[in-house]
Amino acid sequence: MALTPTQRRNQRTIIIIVLICIVPFGAAWYFARHPHLVTGELGNVGHLVSPAVPLSYGELLGAPITSQESMEQLKGRWIVLSVADGPCVEPCRQNLYKTRQMRLMLNKEIPRVRRLLLLTDPGAAGPLADWLKQDEFLAMAGLAPSLREKLEKAAGGSLQPGQILLLDPLGNLMMYYDADFDPYGVLKDLKHLLRASQIG
């Protein structure tokens, strides 16, 4: 039986009323599940170390490989830290490249961020001589066993090849990133931290 024009109008009115009631709840549920669509931020890409692990500059820079000047430039700045367990081959060199490009993309905030490579074998620095000619802001130091233990504990129990760690300007180890980290994600985290921080 066909609906009369009046019945069709009534049917449309009922549908519209139902949609008016349902759509706001549906939208509220969706945005509650995806808050970054409202804030414009996805949150931290890395793993937060809680509580942060305080490290002294004596621990970090106690066995310098690059110049003392490069060591001094690390103090009071955000530090992107890499660890090479033996010779710096892939993915260590890939990390150095990604973190260098990431730092360059900070533009005016570049002076606030430095990079440090810790080597379990200081003799492994020799093959990196050519790299350092093109990467003058990379600092290198030896990794003491006591410091390695702290880093491993903070990074989920072990240091994986290709991981990076982030220290704030007070020397607190506060975040780490998995070996397959997205440099653009790390860059986003860094920019957020630099905007929020009044130090470093």
For residue 192, what pLDDT band results from cuts at 50, 70 and 90? very high
> For 15-69, what is each residue's pLDDT tens digit?
767 656 664 444 444 434 444 433 344 457 899 999 999 999 999 998 999 999 9
What pTM, to 2 d.p., does this model score?
Answer: 0.76
Cis peptide before 91 (omega within 30 of 0): yes
Q: How far is CA 195 from CA 27, 44, 131, 189, in A?
A: 31, 14, 31, 10
CA–CA separation, 102 and 99 (whole Å) = 5
Count of CA atoms in the C-beta half-sphere (13 A) of 112: 18
Domain spans in the chain, listed from the N-terminal domain onward: 5-39, 47-196
CA–CA separation, 198 and 200 (whole Å) = 7
Fold of 47-196: Glutaredoxin (3.40.30)
89: pLDDT strictly greater than 80: yes
CB 63 within 8 A of CB 140: no
Span 164-192, mean pLDDT? 94
pLDDT of residue 161: 84
Window from 11-20, 43-52, 107-116, 185-194 with minimum mean pLDDT: 11-20
